[in-house]
Structure 1
Amino acid sequence: MPIPLHWRRRLVRGYDQAWLLAVHACAAGGLPSPRSLLRRIRGAPAQSKLSAAARRENLRGAFTVRDPCDVAGRTIVLVDDVVTTGATLAAAALPLRAAGAIAVYGVALARAGGFV
């Protein structure tokens, strides 16, 4: 499942890179297309210049589960483009676990250096 962009950021960019990665990964693995189980309920400033602590604070409460019934009892794999500190994956995992996900794993296409 892709880490969702805030709708405003997607509108500006014109695409959602995590969604595209998840779609292609599922297709390559013979899996059904990913579903949006999370919703980004508040935008956050770009994180590229923030410290690890500031990134965590920046994302506090940024995600919510669309329908807890779709999450309860499931193992979820989150897909993102780049992981630096893991703050985005951690912030997205919290509401999924609270909604009853058995386990939440994160995968990313790339890892940025200097923070992890």
Structure 2
Amino acid sequence: MTNKVGLPVNGSNVSGPGEGAEIHIFEVEHTKYKLVESYENPAIKATTTRGIHMLKSVLSKHVDAIIVSEIGAPGVNFLKNKIKIYYANNMNENEAMEFYINSKLEEIAIATHESPHHDGNTHKL
């Protein structure tokens, strides 16, 4: 079975939905994965709810999951019952994809940080 996974990235490092410069979409089949699409993160040009812009874009690509380094409550609530969210802090995209295909990433059900987003960021995981 083939599925698709989206990752916000800075260079090759997994980032948050509102922070990654690019979005990489991977196709996964069994234990193999390949990059099938890369595009500028729409959050970069957004002035509010930046992460939501990125999340809408990956949903339009019909991904089954997203891998992020962090995500706030608005993002978690937006994706609830739509796709799975996985946590990959301090990983590059290849490490994250290897962890994903080996079921070693933690699934996120709550925000990894509280508001305000960039002032005193408190990570829960």
Q: TM-score range by the shorter chain?
A: 0.3 to 0.5
Greater length-normalized contact order (CA 8 Å, ≥ 6 residues apart): 1
Task: From the two aligned structures, give the one with the greater helix fraction.
Answer: 1
Task: From the two aligned structures, give the one with the greater strand fraction.
Answer: 2
